[in-house]
Chains A and B, each alone.
Chain A
Amino acid sequence: QTVVTQEPPFSVSPGGTVTLTCGLSSGSVSTSYCPSWYQQTPGQAPRTLIYNTNTRSSGVPDRFSGSILGNKAALTITGAQADDESDYYCLLHMGSDIWQFGGGTKLTVL
């Protein structure tokens, strides 16, 4: 079974730019996978940041952006802030109305 892959824990300096990626154990991620990105802090429900590759969800600041970079989906945070410190999950549509989350990336801002 194809696995959705994300980076291990990552860190970024305040004000810096970071790109998190979402790939497949076999094959390439394209827009047909409708990649979306979720932010989650401990004890809270996930918050939708990006859906359908690059559409920002309502109320999400424009320093969060989504794209396809090479063979992966990507989430870029520009001007990282302390409260961006969270777990970030990508979600892919695997076809046949089946969805799969990546393993998540823990982002530290320091």
Chain B
Amino acid sequence: QVQLVQSGAEVKRPGASVKVSCKASGFTFTTYSIQWVRQAPGQRLEWMGWINLGRGSTKYSQKFQGRVTFTRDTSASTAYMELSSLISEDTAVYFCARDGGSGNWHFWGQGTMVTVSS
């Protein structure tokens, strides 16, 4: 069955970077894209961007452009989201989701809590 398993919670200092992983199983990795979404405590879902797992092409939300990088390791069936220059407002749960096309993001990771605190 399709599964996306994310890395564990992180605590980071302001100004640091964080890298979250999303390990995929149960499907052909390179035939899909992964969307990244975050949710600050008590706030709405926020789209961050996507990576095409086959081509490695990416699209970033303008809000995060220059601060976020999506990568993937096809040999490990794992996608990564790295966010740099962290500030307290980046404290959130970060989710990965498999993009099945036409807005069908049916499979989600369990989420990774990132806390930015001095």
Pick the contact of A34: B102, B106, B110, B111 (CB < 8 A): B102
Contact A46 B47 (CB under 8 A): no
Contact B102 A101 (CB under 8 A): no
Contact A103 B44 (CB under 8 A): yes
* A62-102 residues at the B interface, CB under 8 angstroms: 89, 91, 93, 97-102
Number of A-B residue pairs at CB separation under 8 A: 64
Task: List the A residue with the shortest CB-CB distance to B42.
Answer: A42
Size class of the contact patch on chain B: 20 to 34
Contact A52 B103 (CB under 8 A): yes
Label chain A's interface by main secondary structure: strand
Size class of the contact patch on chain A: 20 to 34
Contact A51 B102 (CB under 8 A): yes
The distance in angstroms between the C-alpha atoms of A102 and B44, with both chains bound, is: 8
Interface string of B94-106 (1 = CB under 8 A from A): 0101001011111
- Closest CB in chain A relative to B24 CB, distance in Å: 15
Q: Which residues of B contact A (CB under 8 A)?
A: 35, 37, 44-47, 50, 59, 61, 95, 97, 100, 102-106, 108-111
